[in-house]
Amino acid sequence: MHDADRGRMARRKVNAGADTALVDYADKEPSAFASMLGGLIEANVKSRPEKESDFARLIAKVGIWVTDIDEGVTLDFKGGRMTVHNGLESQRTITIRADAQTVMSLSNLKIGLFGLPVYYDEVGRGVAGKLLRGKLKIDGMLPNVVTLNAVTRIFSVQ
């Protein structure tokens, strides 16, 4: 069934205490990639207060497909919680397709003025170049730029 709330921003305070799990896994055996992304986002949100508000507000289903390992995950952001699915689920808001190195580069994008990703430093230029050359594909990017920027901020370790 279509989730009418997808892509909207909710307003809820994240209880990001060290013992509170913000991330759960839909599959009994999460893939290594699912565990890594889930662990990365959870650690990021818990250790960086500036990411909490994005995480608390974001409602979106984000697919990430790593082209050179043929594996992907769906990150289902539910306004303060996230469920990680092995593989691509249906009705995604955004789907990112890139090789492993590029996916890691996305998490190394710096966040600049107004919370926007920085595309003019070395990492940013690399990501932008891959987007232009079609080595990084983002389905649903144009109608969901705000969501994409929020995901990038949550994902960024910089």
Partner 1 sequence: MAVKAFSPEWASAFKDEVNKSTVYKTAGKGWKWTVGLVVEAEPDKHFAEPKGIVMDLFDGEARDIQVGSAADAQKCDFVITAPYSRWKEVSTGQLDATKGMLQGKLKLKGDLPTIVRYTKASQEMTECTTRIAVEWPDEK
- Chain residues binding partner 1 by CB under 8 A are 31-33, 35-36, 39-40, 43-44, 47, 66, 68-69, 71, 100-101, 103-105, 107-108, 157-158
Joined together, the tokens standing for residue 124 give: 């940013």
Shorter beta-carbon distance to partner 1: residue 26 or 40: 40
Contact 96, 63 (CB under 8 A): yes
Shorter beta-carbon distance to partner 1: residue 51 or 61: 51
Closest distance between partner 1 and the C-beta of residue 46, in Å?
Answer: 10
- Residue for token digits 């996230």? 82
Shorter beta-carbon distance to partner 1: residue 4 or 32: 32
Closest distance between partner 1 and the C-beta of residue 47, in Å?
Answer: 7
Torsion of CA 54, 78, 96, 126, to 10 degrees: 20
d(CA 63, CA 88): 6
Closest distance between partner 1 and the C-beta of residue 13, in Å?
Answer: 22
Contact 55, 14 (CB under 8 A): yes
DSSP one-letter string for 7-64: T-B--------TTS--EEESSSS--HHHHHHHHHHHHHHHH-HHHHHHHHHBEEEEEE
User: How many beta carbons lie within 10 A of that of residue 72, not counting itself?
Assistant: 22
Shorter beta-carbon distance to partner 1: residue 105 or 152: 105
Shorter beta-carbon distance to partner 1: residue 6 or 135: 135
Closest distance between partner 1 and the C-beta of residue 86, in Å?
Answer: 12
Closest distance between partner 1 and the C-beta of residue 36, in Å?
Answer: 6
